[in-house]
Structure 1
């Protein structure tokens, strides 16, 4: 059970590394852009589909756990597109969250810790150990990533963290709790989608001062440290609520 999320972490890290490298080299049109979005999205979908097929046919994971319901709901083949959407969505959600010193690392560590507890409650102790190993690695990284940052996560870290978190959630069956446990990445992703949709719909008006969401609050007047700390507090609350819901 540990090999699959570990493989996702490694493979998506390589994809993110290539994206960062192309951004540094200026391979795509202008320096700093990285890989073309449509190409990166296509690769993410293909990789996610491969992971989901392993989950479905290899590990027999194709169900949904509802809070308060001891029996899991078998989704059948409908599970495949839903799981692909979750993996790709979370990969990009954490990627968008990585915009301030320490933000993505703190949020990811909190979410992995929550799912580590949930996995342990289910008796999936190897998966729980994996989650807490990721938390420990993130703490070591955060030592150098908090403001003012000396190391930066980049796509090399953010993309695999989001995808791996999604895989862990799918393996526990408690993926319906992702919008609660990973409330900040989900809200950040939604802010980007809503900003683009509103901009096109209104012919140039903006719903937020700036997207992703953390930049909106910076423009409102919050300092970088305030945004990170307050977002982490919301994330911590979401993690505790998520664990509580998993206990129902």
Structure 2
């Protein structure tokens, strides 16, 4: 918004020329989101506490008994910080900015309704799995349909580490892109089981994709680094920076021992947004590397459920997702969290290395 209001005046006031730079606006979007999250966090916690939006604790995880009643739906704080920061500092005439916010809010709405059923209507399971998936698919489908209306948008894939291999999915690209967004959303959701466990890998992924969308939106950088050039996608860097600031602001209160949990409104919106950023930047497959931790957590659930059904009740892990398995083995929660953070950073570094390893 500030870009649209102030940059046209740069001919009369040369100092306003700084608003043309995505890097400048991204820095201040980060700071704006961070300040909003930290400033309004205590009020959000008090409000959710008054509404009795307490977290329901899985009875099998006895170590979490003390967390019962901790306010959830803290994803609202992330959204309340990220949305105004993005709108304030991004070019709001850019359609991709509105699309990423649509996905962010759409997936968040699905998660919010699920949380509402759990904590306000006291339906422990919330939305049925079918209803939740359907809501996510509808939001993702709308975003993909709008993207494909752009004649410059390609259905070809960029394959990490292979600069000359770009398979074209044609009509299969639609279900594939939807799968990327829905898969990312549920991957973050499954990872969100310990204090601060999901938010740090999410902000790490936001940093990595912030780099990729900035490069993809700059024709010279994209050509030099041999990544697909996507006109206008560089503006999504402002959203990624806002997400980073909002995420770190949320971590201020979500770090062990957590004062607030993000809930499904947070995990689904964050994962869906990351999935969309990967799709719009033409780095769909890179999401598997950037979000490697989310992939591992998701696979642990799939393997556990599949093995359980095949063997008639036997388990590979003591409990899934994987972080609960380590908890059951007696490893302290704080140690599991930090080790998983380290793993997410390692995956991020590998993803960034693909900019040169082509």
Equivalence for 1:98: 192
Q: Structure 2 unaligned runs (5+)?
A: 1-95, 219-232
Distance (Å, rounded) in 1 between the aligned partners of 2:121 and 2:315: 29
Matched, 1:120 2:214: yes
Residues 72 and 131 of structure 1: CA distance in aligned 2, closer, same or farther (over 3 Å): farther
Deviation at 1:117, TM superposition (A): 0.9
Q: Distance in 2 between matches of 1:194 and 1:78?
A: 26
Structure with larger Rg: 2
Matches within 5 A, 1:203-218: 203-218=312-327
Number of the residue aligned with 2:134: 42
Q: Tell me, yes or no, if the aligned pair for 1:55 and 1:61 is still in contact at 8 Å.
A: no
Whether 1:5 and 2:83 are equivalent positions in the alignment is no
Q: 1:139 aligns with which of 230, 238, 248?
A: 248
Deviation, 1:184, is 0.8
Is 1:160 the equivalent of 2:253?
Answer: no
- Distance in 2 (alpha carbons) for counterparts of 1:65 and 1:6: 24
Cα distance in structure 2, aligned partners of 1:139 and 1:189: 24
Indicate the SS of the match to 1:140.
Answer: helix
Moved over 6 A (4+): none
Q: How many Å separate the matches in 2 of 1:142 and 1:197?
A: 34
* 2:169 pairs with 1:60: no
Deviation at 1:72, TM superposition (A): 4.5
What residue number does 1:19 align with? Answer: 114
Q: Give deviations 1:60-82, integer Å, cap 9, x for gaps.
A: 24221123416744322111111
| TM-score normalised according to structure 1 size | 0.94
SS in 2 for 1:94: helix
> Which is richer in helix?
1
State the alpha-carbon separation in 1 of the partners of residues 99 and 295 from structure 2: 23
Q: CA RMSD in A?
A: 1.5
What is the total number of aligned residue pairs between the two structures? Answer: 245
**Contact 1:55 1:62 (C-alpha < 8 Å) held by counterparts:** no
Q: What SS is found at the alignment partner of 1:194?
A: helix
Tell me which residue corresponds to 2:258: 149
